[in-house]
Structure 1
C-alpha cells in the first residue's frame, strides 16, 4: 500500500505541473490553478500515509534529532510520507508562482524553466522566482497584493 501511495502521489500532482509548464496561457490552466483544491490530492495522500504513522512521526517532529529522523526517513513509510509532503508543498508554491507569473505577465519561456526547477529543487526555484518577480514587478504591484493598497 505504501509503495502504491508513493507512486500515486506523483501521478496526482504531475498533471497540474504539466498544465502550468506546457500550457500556461490556456484559459483552463489558469482556472484550474486558481483553485487551492489542486493541492488536495497529494495532501490527502500525505494524511492517509501519516495516520498510521502518527505515533512514530510526532516525536520525530516535536523533538527532532538527526539520527532517529534519518532512520525513519530510510524506511518505506518515511520515504513515502516525506515524498507526499514535498509534492504537496511544492505544488502549492508552484501554483502561487504560476499565478504571480501570469499576473505580472512574465513570459512563459522565463516561467517554464523556473517552474521545472521548482518541481525538481523547490528551495532553489523559489528564490529564483522571487528574483524574476522583483525584476518583472516594475511598479511594485506585489506589495499591493500583500497590503491590499
Structure 2
C-alpha cells in the first residue's frame, strides 16, 4: 500500500502541472492554478502515510536533528509521507510561479521550462523564477513613441 500511495501523490499533482505547462492560456488552467485546494488530495495521501509513523514523525519535528530525521525516512511510510509533503508544497510553489508569470505576461516558453525545473528541483526552479522576475522588474521600460514615429530606427 505504501508504494501505491507514494506513486499516487505524484499522479494527483501531475494533471495540474500538465495544465500549467501544456495549456497555459486555457481559461480553466488559471482557475485550477489559483486554487490551493489542488493539494488537498495529496495531503490526504500524506495523512495516510504519516499516521502509521506519527510518533517517529512527531519526534523528528519536535526536536529536529539529523539522526531522528534519518530514522524517519528509513521507514517506508516515513519516506512516503515526506515525499507527499514535498509534492504538495512543490505544486503550491509551481502554482504561484504560474500565476505570477501569467500576471507579468511572461511567455509560456519561458514559464514552461521553469515549471518543469520546479517539478524536478523546486528550490532551483524557484530561485531561477525569482531571478527572472527581478530582472523583468528592473529592466528599463521601452521609450514611448509619439503618434508620428514608428518606433523603428
Report the TM-score when normalising by structure 1.
0.88
Structure 2 counterparts to residues 1-149 of structure 1, below 5 A = 1-137=1-137
Distance in 1 (CA, whole Å) between partners of 2:53 and 2:8 is 18
Distance in 1 (CA, whole Å) between partners of 2:97 and 2:55 is 35
Do the aligned partners of residues 42 and 70 (structure 1) sit closer, same or farther apart at CA in structure 2, a change above 3 Å counting? same
Gaps of 5+ in 1: 140-149
Contact 2:50 2:78 in 1 (8 A): no
Distance in 1 (CA, whole Å) between partners of 2:105 and 2:46 is 33
For residue 61 of structure 1, report the CA deviation from its aligned partner: 1.2
Contact 2:52 2:77 in 1 (8 A): no
Distance in 1 (CA, whole Å) between partners of 2:47 and 2:53 is 10
Whose helix proportion is higher, 1 or 2? 1
For residue 68 of structure 1, report the CA deviation from its aligned partner: 2.8
Q: Which runs of 4+ in 1 moved over 3 A?
A: none
For residue 13 of structure 1, report the CA deviation from its aligned partner: 0.4
Describe the superposition over 1:35-83 as per-residue Cα deviations: whole angstroms up to 9, x where unpaired.
1111111112112222222112101111122123213212211210111
Distance in 2 (CA, whole Å) between partners of 1:138 and 1:64 is 40
Contact 1:49 1:77 in 2 (8 A): yes
Report the TM-score when normalising by structure 2.
0.85
Gaps of 5+ in 2: 140-153
For residue 138 of structure 1, report the CA deviation from its aligned partner: 5.2
Describe the superposition over 1:87-142 as per-residue Cα deviations: whole angstroms up to 9, x where unpaired.
00000111001000000010001111111110000111111111111122359xxx
Contact 1:104 1:137 in 2 (8 A): no
Aligned length: 139
Superposition CA RMSD, Å: 1.4
